Structure 1
Amino acid sequence: MHEKDNSRKSRGKFFLIALICSFSWYVFPGYLFPTLSAISWVCWAFPKSVTAQQIGSGMQGIGIGSFAVDWSVIASFLGSPLVTPFFAIVNIFVGFALFLYVVLPTAYWGLDLYQARNFPIFSSHLFNHKGEPYNVSGIVNQNFEIDMPAYEQQGLVNLSVFFSLTYGIGFAAIISTLSHVAVFNGKEIHTQLKASFKGKEDIHTRLMKKYKSIPNWWFYLLLGLTLLLSLALCVFMKRDIQMPWWGLIFAAAIALAFTLPVSIITATTNQSPGLNIITEYIMGYILPGKPIANVCFKTYGYISMAQAVSFLNDFKLGHYMKIPPRSMFVVQSIGTVIAGTVNLAVAWWLLTTVENICQDHLLPPNSPWTCPGDRVFFDASVIWGLVGPKRIFGPLGNYSALNWFFLGGALGPVVVWLFHKAFPNQKWIPLINLPVLLGATAAMPPATSLNFNCWLIIGFIFNYYVFKYRKGWWQRYNYVLSAALDAGLAFMGVLLYFTLTMHGISISWWGSDGEHCDLASCPTAKGIVVDGCPVF
């Protein structure tokens, strides 16, 4: 990080050149030619075949052959593939390929699992038994709780086979995180913990001693203030928050328990397992029928852990870059306040100015306001909070068998560890990271097969050489290129929005009409009628 660049093109010059190229290129997929963001040529070759479009669509299907030449598609949900270790990319590829190319087709076409053909093959929406969109507003009362008579009249909530299986794999992934860290990193954690008490220091720690350390009371004070404020919201705004005060304490305890194992997975693979499913599951059983309580519990349990990992990541970078710890603390605190305020203001502005925002069935095909992440967040609040896991994944629902994934996730890393001990000379066995492999598709939904296709291709191309030639020239510029692509995309995206999109200036032609896979979301069961789809 501190070496000089006299003998080669400096990283600064390389960054500037790559930024200009990224900035200039994004005008095409971002405005002039949006179809470059979803090139699904199989759909073009078979415009009247539902099955072919299910196979070829990168947005609403398995995505075989689909790709994009748009960095926003590549890095939007999975982060930059340029900064992910090669062995982690291989794990993600194996998990993705097994799920999308083996498990999902078998469940849909082979077994018709959970009446899969009544619904789209790839969807995060909720359906009734007829394959129609579930009327969520019809089962919510004025207190934002479930209206049981209305729910019983409308019937059980149904998921696409893709959506249901992602939850099952998510069950396995989060439990495998604990067992993987226990068997592969337990001894190392114990050794490092003992070393920390003995005051063992590396070269970076000794160099950082020239700066004043952060007093512990700074952290305690910040924790106390935020905890008191959150407790006050739970006590004095109980009707709006729905979550009792003990729920906040319980969520904080979950975040604390998972921070260390998730941090280890993140540090070694650049992939962070999420706690969203487990926190939703727990609160859904404790307080069914209260969606806002479920969302709040997930936020304090999952997002708190994710922010802690991000905080540690920043401090570790500052540790290596020799940035004063107190400066890091102050900058992070100020940045948090600014980011939270700006995000809330922008969200409020968009919700009050953009008509039909996030309602993808009411928006034009090329609208940027489909909000895939927010839609999944909403559907999750219905599944886990409003309806509750007992009526979906429990004895009152259709998907109780998916709970067996918890057992598989707990035992999987133990099996890998036993194979490693039995065959110690096979160096590839310990590289099997089941939390990453099982969690490979954790971003789906809202991520699609198109996002994964592009991410994996770029990751293989660039990181293979870094992996194979550890001292090669490309390693010097890999992270710089990633930052430059992000920056160029961000600048052009903001420019396009404020100069064109905000004023309703758009162009309409074949290249701006989306993916051209209109039949990919059609059901294939006999007698299911959906507008715009053939009836089998």
Structure 2
Amino acid sequence: MWWPTNLVQVSLFSALHEKEKRPKGGMSRNKFFVLVLASGFAYYVLPGYLFTMLTSISWVCWLDPKSVLVQQLGSGMKGLGIGSIGLDWSTISAYLASPLASPWFATANVAVGYCLFMYVLIPIGYWFNFYKAKNFPIYSQDLFMANGEKYDILSIVDSHFHLDRDAYAKNGSIHLCFLFAVTYGIGFATLSATLVHVILFNGSDLWRQTRSAFSDDKKIDIHTKLMKVYDAVPMWWFWVILVVNIAAIIFACQYYNESLQLPWWGVLLACGIAVTFTLPIGIIYATTNQQPGLNIITEYVIGYIYPERPVANMCFKVYGYISMSQALSFLADFKLGHYMKIPPRAMFMAQVVGTVLAVLVYTVTAWWLMADIPNLCDTNLLPSDSPWTCPMDRVFFDASVIWGLVGPRRIFGDLGEYGKVNWFFLGGAIAPLLVWLAHKLFPGQKWIKHIHMPVLLGSTAMMPPASAVNFNSWIFLGFISGFIVFRFRPELWKRYNYILSGGLDAGTSFMTVLLFLALGSKNIGLEWWGNKGEGCPLASCPTARGVKVDGCPVVN
């Protein structure tokens, strides 16, 4: 059996920094990048405007247009996505980043985790009706009442954006579709698996590196020696930015407490969580290109400590999770700059200026869209084929309701019906221990160490808003690039892999902006069957007896 244990690990550094040695008549990297960019730019006209069905070709649904079961199985957007594929780079890289940038063993772990989750766990839970699963769609990011109707969130919010307990008691508990509930359980397992995995597999290296960092005879590699010609970034620059930002956040939370809801101690606690988890999650990210998130644990912590305050929950998640994620991005930039011999101070200023510009651009863009797009993100008022449904933002909103407004105690605690999901914490802690024991018992089986439980368990962390077609397409392309190309033409993979990924990203992004400015902002659409979605309208229908939903058949 072939397993990629002896493959040459190629980094972005080698793709950009090493002197190019191409065969006679071969294409330079710059030329290849321009060609890929132009091709990606031209091609995206099809899935982005002319033939949007290419984003999710769910051909299984076409076999029986009147069958809910067939469409649940075949829909790549609202079902299990069997056979569904997307011929669109934005579908492939939207939630999971580029499959070309992940090592093959990580792609294999994602594939195994996704298949176990989507084709074993979810079907068993749904068709055995765990947590009244059949009352709700098989895949949905919405919140429901027990009878299958969507929950009216505004009806349980008081004038201060706190939970109206009387209204909540009258309406009844919030229910999740089985997939959404289990996704949170998988998030619990991923967190505990990350900590245990790092301790077992990286603990000795961490201890050795820590001792070396504080010793006088620490080893210095060639890159560090070459970088000594540049002035280092003074540590006080970092401290100033840290202190000023924390002070500004605390001031904002105190001064606008009625709106933001988060007290000063919540800011400090969020920063503490970010600092604590940056190292273990950074190790996973550095070795697999997959980053476990802190979103669930931050929501869980503040939801128990400071419940019934949705805005406070969102702020805490941003300060605890997003700050850690951004820290890892900055570290990756510095590491690349270290390899590329970019002066550290120049890299630091580029990061600071880029961050400020990004904040301004994001803010202006958000206000512009809210002013110009009617019913932005409101799926109850937007047409089904609208591009402005904001799936990521809707999940963010639903999470603020689950963890902030209602609180984890009423969902996953003693007052809720999803309490058993907490057992995933224990399962996640045990899983890497079993892999570690197997590796110790069978040291000759080199493939065992490539079973990476944080990646395997966390493979579906972005679902929802990611759907089956995103994973199918990502895994398919990842296996093609990681197995066929890498197996038979490794020199081409080394030379062009990252360039191909970057060119596709750039070309797709430029055409996306152009299509919006030229057509989307003026509501110029193209009406024909190829732009009517994937053709699986019944995939979101419940299958419990007597549950009535508009547009769905009623099971008697």
TM-score range, shorter chain: over 0.9
1:152 and 1:445 map into 2 onto residues whose CA distance is 28
**Which of the numbers 301, 304, 307 marks the counterpart of 1:285?**
304
1:205 alignment counterpart: 224
Q: What one-letter code is carried by the residue in structure 1 that aligns with 2:536?
A: C
Name the amino acid aligned to 2:224. T
Matched, 1:108 2:126: yes
1:382 matches 2:401: yes
1:36-55 → structure 2 map (5 Å cutoff) = 36-55=54-73
Tell me the distance in 1 between the aligned counterparts of 2:105 and 2:214: 33
Contact (CA 8 Å) 2:486, 2:493: kept in 1 or not? no
Deviations 1:327-364 (A, max 9, x none): 00000000000001111111122122211111123212
What residue number does 1:171 align with?
188
Which of 197, 201, 224 pairs up with 1:180? Answer: 197
Please list, as runs of the form range in 1=range in 2, the aligned pairs for 1:53-202 lying within 5 A after superposition.
53-109=71-127, 111-198=128-215, 199-202=218-221
Residues 280 and 297, structure 1, Cα contact 8 Å, conserved in 2: yes
1:366 aligns with 2:382: no
CA–CA separation in structure 1 for the residues paired with 2:116 and 2:259:
43
TM-score of the aligned structures, taking structure 1 as reference length: 0.98
CA–CA separation in structure 2 for the residues paired with 1:214 and 1:143: 45
Q: Is the 8 A contact 2:53 2:533 kept in 1?
A: yes
Contact 1:86 / 1:467 at 8 angstroms: preserved in 2? no
Q: CA deviation at 1:466?
A: 5.9
For residues 130 and 367 of structure 2, the distance between their equivalents in structure 1, rounded to whole angstroms, comes to 41
The answer to whether residue 419 in structure 2 is matched with residue 403 in structure 1 is no
Deviations along 1:81-116, one digit per CA (max 9) or x if unpaired, are 00000000000000000000000000011x200000
Whether 2:283 is the aligned partner of 1:264: answer yes
Unaligned stretches of 5+ in structure 1? none
Question: Any residues of structure 2 matched to 1:240-255 within 5 Å, and which?
Answer: 240-255=259-274
Residue identity in the other structure for 1:526: R
> Which residue number corresponds to residue 475 of structure 2?
456
Distance in 1 (alpha carbons) for counterparts of 2:20 and 2:84: 42
The residue correspondences of 1:330-369 to structure 2 (distance < 5 A) are 330-369=349-388
Is structure 2 residue 33 aligned with structure 1 residue 33? no
1:137-184 CA distance string (max 9 Å, x none): 000011011001100000000000010010111100011111100000
> Does structure 2 conserve the Cα–Cα contact (< 8 Å) formed by 1:465 and 1:474?
no
| Distance in structure 1 (CA, Å) of the matches to 2:153 and 2:202 | 44
Alpha-carbon distance in 1 for matches of 2:202, 2:410:
37
- Structure 2: distance between partners of 1:343 and 1:180: 36
Quote the offset at 1:192 in angstroms: 1.2
| 8 Å contact from structure 1 (residues 169, 439) kept in 2 | yes
Asked whether the 8 Å contact 1:466–1:472 carries over to 2, the reply is no
Residue deviations 1:183-227 (CA, integer Å, cap 9, x gap): 000000111112222332111111111111001000011111101
1:286-301 → structure 2 map (5 Å cutoff)? 286-301=305-320
Structure 1 residues 361, 44: closer, same or farther in 2, change over 3 A?
A: farther
1:146·1:289 contact (CA, 8 Å) conserved in 2? yes
| 2:328 paired with 1:312 | no
> How many Å separate the matches in 2 of 1:289 and 1:197?
45
Distance 1:329 1:74 in 2: 32
Conserved? CA contact 2:57–2:534, under 8 Å: yes
Alpha-carbon displacement from aligned partner over 1:16-68 (angstroms, at most 9, x marks no partner): 11111111110011000101111000111110000000000000000000001
How far the C-alpha of 1:470 sits from its partner, in A, is 8.4
CA contact (8 A) 1:119 1:131 kept: yes
User: Alpha-carbon deviation of 1:6?
Assistant: 5.2
Distance 2:433 2:543 in 1: 40
Alignment partners' CA distance in 2, 1:115 and 1:288: 26
Residues 275 and 301 of structure 1 are in contact (CA less than 8 Å); yes or no, is this contact kept in structure 2?
yes
Q: Pick from 288, 291, 295 the counterpart of residue 276 of structure 1.
A: 295
AA in 1 matched with 2:425 = F
Deviation at 1:234, TM superposition (A): 1.9
Question: Deviation per CA, 1:427-463, whole angstroms, max 9, x where unpaired?
Answer: 0111111110000000101000000000000000001
**8 A contact 1:466–1:475 mirrored in 2:** no
Q: Match for 1:326 among 316, 320, 345?
A: 345
CA distance in 2, matches of 1:466, 1:107: 38
Sequence identity (%):
56
Cα contact 2:61–2:71 (8 A) shared by 1: yes
How far apart, in 2, do the equivalents of 1:6 and 1:112 lie?
Answer: 58
Q: What secondary structure is seen at the aligned counterpart in 2 of 1:520?
A: helix
TM-fit CA distance, 1:236:
1.4
Q: Could you say what the CA RMSD is over the residues aligned between the two structures, in angstroms?
A: 1.0
8 Å contact from structure 2 (residues 227, 341) kept in 1: yes
Aligned mates of 1:387, 1:149 — CA distance in 2: 12
1:16 aligned to which of 34, 56, 67: 34
Is residue 412 of structure 1 aligned with residue 431 of structure 2?
yes
Structure 1 residue runs of 4 or more that deviate by more than 4 Å after TM superposition:
none
Moved more, 67-76 or 1-10: 1-10
2: distance between equivalents of 1:172 and 1:149?
A: 34
Q: Residue 366 of structure 1: CA displacement?
A: 2.2
Q: 2:65 touches 2:536 (CA, 8 Å); kept in 1?
A: yes
Structure-2 separation of matches of 1:12 and 1:126: 48
* Equivalent-residue separation in structure 2 for 1:156 and 1:470 (angstroms): 56
Are 1:2 and 2:21 an aligned pair? Answer: no
**Separation in structure 1 between the aligned mates of residue 230 and residue 118 of structure 2, nearest angstrom:** 51
Per the TM alignment, residue 274 of structure 1 is displaced from its structure 2 partner at its CA by: 0.1
Match of 2:241 among 214, 222, 231: 222
Superimposed CA distance per residue, residues 296-325 of structure 1 (whole angstroms, 9 cap, x where no aligned partner): 111111011101111111111111111110
**CA distance in structure 2 between the aligned counterparts of 1:456 and 1:158, rounded to whole angstroms:** 31
Cα deviation, 1:458-508, whole Å, max 9, x if unaligned, reads 000001246546852222100000000001101111111111111111110
